Structure 1
Amino acid sequence: MSYRLIDLFAGAGGMTLGFTDNRFCGGFESVWALDIDRSAVATHRRNFGPHATCADIEHWLETDRPIPAADVVVGGPPCQGFSLLNKQRAGDRRRELWLPFLDVVERCGASVFVIENVAELRSSPEYSEIEKHANKMGFDVVSEVLLAADYGAPQSRKRTVILGYRRDLVAGVTFPPLATHAAPKSGKNLPPWRTVWDAIADLPNPVGTEIRRVKAPLDLHFGRNPTSKSAARYRAVPPGGNRFDLQRNAPEITPDCWIRKTSGGTDLFGRLWWDRPSVTIRTEFFKPEKGRYLHPDEHRPITHREAARLMGFPDDFKFEGTKIDIARQIGNAVPPPLAGAIGQLVRQILDGRMRAAA
């Protein structure tokens, strides 16, 4: 049996992929997706069919347009309102976009919903508001901060996952999903975390500096055209190093602001490690000054293809848009392996609901 899935704030569709693709979970059919980003909607349509809508969710709901029936609603309301990277969090309207999300849950008749967001959400006042609102709708709520590496994504990305289920249809839920991987030497009888080596070591050298308009799995594996100063900075950072190594090895080409800042920022201008999962892939992974995004031993930032693999996207997933558009889609995505683990738990809940109704 296939369950009907709605994905809100869907982006490129990392959550949809995790739920619908048999490599991760399967057993779900995408019936509607919504996002305000046109390029992300184009990506979603290319991979999952024509059911994606480009619109502001609040404006869409104000029109009272019909919403398809669904068994589960998933999505990640924009996270910047909760993120510690946002220093002006108070009063940010993005903190309240869970309200229209739950409105869709109610209007489509879903039995389960999943909200994915930054780790900070779970300790925020908004989490309590989400829980109270869901309880009034007849849902019980469970949540946890999950580490993507524990579920097969080669990335140390931490995310709050909130799962709500109709208490009149489901007796209870064991949460979080069982991990599929564990830290090396953890003593757990599980495969070790997937590493940067596992994800990208087989890739050849990047070709060119633009997206190659060919139907090939490596069409995102293009390089950049750095200035001579940037190239010299890359060469000055040793394996596992960061901006402090740049300052020690080449102070003459180190930005003054970094020299003045003597603490913090240990990932800035850093190299990924071959034998660990990557750091969290953000939307500007192609800029080493934004984080630990230098290749482990080549003198360059990681490519779009490498970033997509570190997120857990298979090479046959097709992205639409400019280089900047696609980088934003990758950095904002839910890692499909993590989504798949959540999807397997949701499918168990829905299977149990169907058995109880029989």
Structure 2
Amino acid sequence: MTSAASDSPRVEPIKVIDLFAGAGGFSTGFHAYVPEGHTASPFVSVAAVEFDEAAASTYAANFPEAEVHAGDIGEWDPGDFIGSEVILGGPPCQGFSGLGKEKADDPRNQLWQEYIRVVKKVSPKIFIMENVDRFLRSGQFEELKKITAPGEQLEEYELRVEILNSADYGVPQARKRAIVIGTHKDLPVTKHPRPTHDRKADAWQPALADPGDSEPPQPWVAVGPAVFDRTRFVELRDMPERPGGDDSPLGLKQPGPFFTHELHIRRTPEMLSLARYRAIPPGGNRHDLRGKWVELEDRCIYLSTPSWDAHNNGSGDVMGRMHADRPSVTIRTEAYKPEKGRYLHPTEHRPITQYEMALIQGFPEDFKWHGTKIEIARQIGNAVPIGLAKALASVVYKTLRDEARACPD
């Protein structure tokens, strides 16, 4: 993926910094946005920061024009990038996530302050922070609101906060995230993008209070036609052998590159796991294993577990098959493991692959990945869905270009 600058001589490239960049989902979505009447994106990635070396290598491979700092953000000086118009980033969310048991004292929770440090020094026109929805109920979010008050560090910014669902923007995945948009007070306030899709699109009616909602939404995108119809005839494969060499991005010698379409990686499940997959019907989950036995190697084996049988409540997604007729559940870092959620193929007796994970997140077929298959899965699961990032790029562009049109030639 290369830099995309506007084809119009009247539209200056918009410089973007991506913090906690991961593989570059945020940046990929911004580069995918092309304004009406143009043939290329106005957004140009100039810098990125990512601590994980495999993810940093992936970012560098896809955005070679950007300066990538593969290390601690606390050691990065953004001085060379003062004047960049946009800062993106999703500080690590493990301390806020329900899966992380919401540890208030998790040191990763404080990394958002490094994000603020960069915003303070660079003084972008707009910054966007993405995190799990629980972030909005944290003490850190309360601190963030305080520092935009008069006399505080970011007093020149106005915050807008909403929880957005990726499925509402054409992503075949239901994934809710808190999106904080900070706009410099010299500009019109950047509003969150209007949803383009709706779970109940057939029942939609125009909103009388908002003339901008006059265009009817499309139905949510089902994961079956969007992803599994594409992979139905793609052969499962082993991970290609590509050890990193001296010419690898950033000189980090990470394995790869691997294109997205090369990540349809087969697993070799144990016989018990395979028997469980076969016993779970379309749309089913761990509850369908209760009371079922199978003969394996001359032994009668119970398919469920005492723990699963003891819990009638809790997640019904464990060992669940994806529903082909609706968006997938949230793609997480271990979505290739069905014991972690509803990650079984809708009809085939196997978990989804890294290839399918990447397609659900919206990554292009020719995206380049670096790292082991486990590291790549982590990069995919941690990424901002491309469709959501693209929608956010549209409102950022609108704010910045509205300002440009208001200025005399």
TM-score in terms of structure 2 length: 0.82
Given the superposition, is the C-alpha separation of residues 134 and 196 from structure 1 closer, same or farther in structure 2, using an over 3 Å criterion?
A: same
2:251 corresponds in structure 1 to none
Shift of 1:134: 3.2
8 Å CA contact retained: 1:211, 1:222: no
Q: Counterpart amino acid of 1:263?
A: N
Give, as a single letter, the amino acid of the residue that structure 2 aligns with 1:8: L
Q: Distance in 1 between matches of 2:196 and 2:394?
A: 12
Over 3 Å counting, the alpha-carbon distance change for 1:150 and 1:88 in structure 2 is closer
Q: How does 1:181-196 map to 2 (within 5 A)?
A: 181-188=197-204, 189-196=216-223
| Structure 2 unaligned residues grouped into runs of 5+ | 1-10, 205-215, 243-256, 294-300
Corresponding residue for 2:246?
none
- Distance in 2 of aligned mates of 1:228 and 1:23: 49
Max Rg structure: 2
Give the 3 Å change call, closer, same or farther, for CA 103–215 of structure 1 in structure 2.
Answer: closer
Show the counterpart of 2:167: 149
Q: For 2:320 and 2:241, locate their aligned partners in 1 and report how far apart those are by CA, in whole Å.
A: 28
1:19-38 correspondence to structure 2 within 5 Å:
19-22=30-33, 26-38=41-53
Counterparts of 1:218 and 1:164 in 2: how far apart (Å)?
A: 36
How far 1:86 sits from its partner (Å)? 1.7
Question: Alpha-carbon deviation of 1:105?
Answer: 1.3
Residue 202 in structure 1 maps to residue 230 in structure 2: yes
**1:69, distance to aligned residue in structure 2 (A):** 3.2
Q: Distance in 1 between matches of 2:33 and 2:177?
A: 23
Question: Cα gap change, 1:296/1:212 in structure 2, threshold over 3 Å: closer, same or farther?
Answer: farther
Aligned to 2:302: 252
Partner residue of 2:25?
A: 14
Amino acid at match of 1:247: R
C-alpha displacement of 1:180:
1.4
Question: Is 1:70 aligned with 2:84?
Answer: yes
Distance 1:341 1:185 in 2: 19
In the alignment, the residues of structure 2 paired with residue 54 and residue 124 of structure 1 have an alpha-carbon distance, to the nearest angstrom, of 28
Match of 1:275 in 2: 325
| Residues 1:129 and 2:158 are matched in the alignment | no
Distance in 1 between residues matched to 2:167 and 2:23, nearest whole Å: 21
Identity over the aligned pairs, expressed in percent? 42
- 2:15 is matched with 4
Aligned AA for 2:366?
D
200, 221, 226: which is aligned to 2:269?
226
Distance 1:333 1:215 in 2: 17
Q: Contact (CA 8 Å) 1:122, 1:145: kept in 2 or not?
A: no
Correspondence 1:271-310 to 2 at 5 A: 271-310=321-360
How far does residue 120 in structure 1 lie from its aligned partner after superposition? 1.0
- Opposite residue 123 of structure 2, the aligned amino acid is G
Q: Counterpart of 1:58? A: 74
Change (3 A) 1:197 1:184: farther
SS in 2 for 1:17: helix
Deviations 1:209-263 (A, max 9, x none): 3247697652011210111111111101100000011224347022332223332
One-letter amino acid of the counterpart of residue 111, structure 1: K
Name the CA distance, whole Å, in 1 between partners of 2:360 and 2:272: 28
Q: Deviations over 1:7-64 (max 9, x none)?
A: 0000000000111124699320000000101111111111111521101111325xx8
Identify the residue that residue 239 of structure 1 maps to in structure 2.
282
Please give the alpha-carbon distance, in whole angstroms, between the structure 2 residues aligned to 1:139 and 1:166. Answer: 4
1:92 aligns with 2:106: yes
Q: CA contact under 8 A between 1:102 and 1:134: conserved in structure 2?
A: no
Please say if residues 291 and 302 of structure 2, whose CA atoms lie closer than 8 Å, have aligned partners that are also in contact: no
Q: 1:209, 1:225 within 8 Å by CA — same for their partners in 2?
A: no
Alpha-carbon contact 2:188-2:399 (below 8 Å) kept? no
Length-normalised TM-score, structure 1: 0.93
Asked if 1:39 is matched to 2:54, the reply is yes
Change (3 A) 1:111 1:42: same
Aligned to 2:197, what secondary structure does the other structure show?
coil
